[in-house]
Structure 1
Amino acid sequence: MEDRAIGMTRRLKRRGREALDRIGPRRSENRVIAEAAQYWTSPAEPAWAGNSHWRTGIPGQWEKVGQDHLALFDKLARVLDTPPSFGTVAEWGCGGGANAVAFAPRAERFVAVDVVRASLDECREHTLAACDVDFVPLLVEVENPEAAVDTIGRASCDVFLCLYVVELLPSAEYATRILRIARAVLAPGGVAFIQVKYRDSDGRTAPRRSYARNLASQTIFPIDHFWKLAGQTGFRPEAVHLVPENELDRNYAYFLLTAA
C-alpha cells in the first residue's frame, strides 16, 4: 500500500511539472539557447548518449535509424525529375553517426556538424569504419550556428540532412535559422531532407518550457506551417511523409525540399 502511495505521489508530481512546463511563462530566446548549450555540453547527463544517438545510447536501434532514413530518402526522392547528387553531403546534428554511416558511403565528401566535439569524434570513428569518404567534422556553437556557412561553403552541398534535431532546437525561430543555413550551403537544385515533430490534437505534442526535461518536445510544428516556412526560406517543398509512431518516439514528419 505504501509503495502504491509513493508511486501515485511521483506520478502526480510529474504531471504537475508537465503542466507547468506547458503553461509557464515564456522564456527569452537567449535563455533557451543557453539552456540548450548547457545540456549538450554536459555529457554526464543520464540520458545524454541516447539523446545524442550514440551507439551505446540506443543499442539495438542504432543501425536501423540510418538504414530506415536512407530508405525513406530514396523513396521520397522518386518524386524528383532527376536523382539527387551525392557529391557533398552535410548533416546538421550528426550525433553519434547513426545517419552518417548510411549516407556517407554514397558521398565523396561528408560534412558532419555538431555542437559537441565528442559526438564529432564518435561520428568520425563509425563513418570511417563504414566507408572511405572525405570526412569533415565541424564544431559549431549553439549561440552562433551561422558561423558554419562559410566553413561548409556557400552553394557547395548536394544534400543537407537534419534528422532527429529540429525538435531539440530552442525555438521555431531558431529552426528557421537552420533552414536558412541549409539553403545557403545547398547548390541550386540541391536536396534537403529534414525531419520535424508535428503537432496534432493531443496536448502532449505541445511545446514545453523546461529544456532539459522536455528537450525532445521543445520545438514542434504544424505540418502546414513547416511546409510554408520552407517555401519562405528559399526551398520548394516536394514531399512529406508522416510516421505517427516508431521505436524511438512519435509524431515525426519528414520533408523533402529542393533548393529553389
Structure 2
Amino acid sequence: MALRGERFVAAAVRAVRPRWHDARTREQAARYWSATGSDVSWQSNSHWRDGIGDQAFEEIGRDHWLIYQRFARALRIQAPGRVIEWGAGGGANAAAFAPRAQGFIAADISLDNLAECARQVKSACSTPLETRRIDLSNPTAAADGLQDACDTFLCLYVIELTVGVEAVRSILGIAQRVLRPGGMAFVQMKYHTGESYTRGWRGLAYTRNLASTTTFTIEEFWRLADECGLSPQLIYLVPHNRLDSRYAYYALIKPEADAEPW
C-alpha cells in the first residue's frame, strides 16, 4: 500500500511539473521582453539594427520578403495590402514590408521595440504606420477593432520565444481574427526532429534558451493552424542561416466563406 501511495504522489508531481515550469517560464519571458532596450544582448535578440548590425538587419528583412513573394506568387496574391506584424521587434521585417504595403501595424510587448520599429519604418518609407502594445495578460486586446481588417499577418522569429502551445494558439487565433477572408498569415516556427535536443526547453532559465522555448514538428504546427481556422497551403524550410537553424515558414490562408477546398 505504501508503494502504491508513493507511485501516486510521483505521478501527481510529474503531472504538475510541466504547468509549474510553464508558469515560471512565462514570468521570466514577460520580465525579459518588457525590459528597456538599453542592453546590447536584448537589442540583438529583438533584432535591432544596432544590436545585430546593418548586414544582418537588412538580410532578415530581405530574406523574409523573398519567401513571402514566393508564397504570394504561388497563391496569386498581388500585394501585401494592409499588414500587421505580431512581434515587430526592432523593425527588420517592418522596414522591408512597409514600403510595399498600403498600411503597416506594428504590435509588440515592448514600448522600446515599438519606438525603434517606428523609427526604422519612417526612415524607409512614408507608408501609414500604427503601433500597438501587446499586454501579455490580455494579448487579444492589441487586435481590438481589426476584425477582418488586414490582408497580411506577419509573425516571424516569435513563436519559438513563446511559452507553450496555448500561447501559440492565441497568436494564430488573433491572425484568424484580424485577417480578411482570403488574407495570408506568413508565420514562422522552429521545428524539432527526432533528436531530443531540438525540442523545447521550458523549465530552464528563459534567457539561456529563449530561441528554443517552444518548438513543433512540421505536421504538429500544420494541424494546429488548421484547428485555429487558418488553412495551411505552403511550407518553406530553412535548415540553417546566420541566426540559427530549423526554421519552417508557413503560408496560412483565412478561408473565404464560399471557397472550394484545396
TM-score tier after normalising by the smaller chain length? 0.7 to 0.9
Q: Indicate the larger mover: 164-173 or 29-38.
A: 29-38
Aligned counterpart for 1:178 among listed residues 149, 171, 184: 171
Percent of pairs with identical residues: 43
How far does residue 231 in structure 1 lie from its aligned partner after superposition?
0.8
How far does residue 32 in structure 1 lie from its aligned partner after superposition?
2.8
Contact 1:33 1:142 survives alignment (8 Å): no
How far does residue 236 in structure 1 lie from its aligned partner after superposition?
1.1
Matches within 5 A, 1:65-214: 65-80=60-75, 82-151=76-145, 153-208=146-201, 209-210=203-204, 211-214=206-209
Structure 1 segments unaligned to the other structure (5+ residues): 1-23
Contact 2:199 2:216 survives alignment (8 Å): no
* Matches of 1:56 and 1:142, distance apart in 2: 26
Identify if the C-alpha distance between structure 1 residues 46 and 133 changes in structure 2 by more than 3 Å, giving closer, same or farther.
closer
Contact 2:200 2:215 survives alignment (8 Å): yes
How far does residue 170 in structure 1 lie from its aligned partner after superposition?
1.2
| TM-score normalised over the length of structure 2 | 0.86
Say yes or no: does 1:250 pair with 2:242.
Answer: no
Match of 2:224 in 1: 229
Letter in 2 for 1:90: I
Match of 1:39 in 2: 32
* Matches of 2:51 and 2:197, distance apart in 1: 24
* Matches of 2:128 and 2:40, distance apart in 1: 33
Aligned counterpart for 1:49 among listed residues 26, 39, 43: 43
SS in 2 for 1:219: coil
How far does residue 149 in structure 1 lie from its aligned partner after superposition?
2.0
Spell out, residue by residue over 1:99-147, the C-alpha distance to the aligned partner (whole angstroms, 9 max, x if none): 0011001112100000000110000011011011110010111222111
Aligned residues: 235
Identify if the C-alpha distance between structure 1 residues 25 and 214 changes in structure 2 by more than 3 Å, giving closer, same or farther.
farther
SS in 2 for 1:129: helix
* Matches of 2:252 and 2:87, distance apart in 1: 18
* Matches of 1:106 and 1:243, distance apart in 2: 24
CA RMSD, aligned part only?
Answer: 1.6
SS in 1 for 2:239: strand
Contact 1:84 1:191 survives alignment (8 Å): no
RCO higher in 1 or 2 (8 Å CA, sep ≥ 6)? Answer: 1
| TM-score normalised over the length of structure 1 | 0.86
Match of 1:20 in 2: none
* Matches of 1:118 and 1:100, distance apart in 2: 15
Contact 2:192 2:246 survives alignment (8 Å): yes
Contact 1:159 1:193 survives alignment (8 Å): yes
Match of 2:18 in 1: 26
Match of 2:8 in 1: none
Letter in 1 for 2:152: V
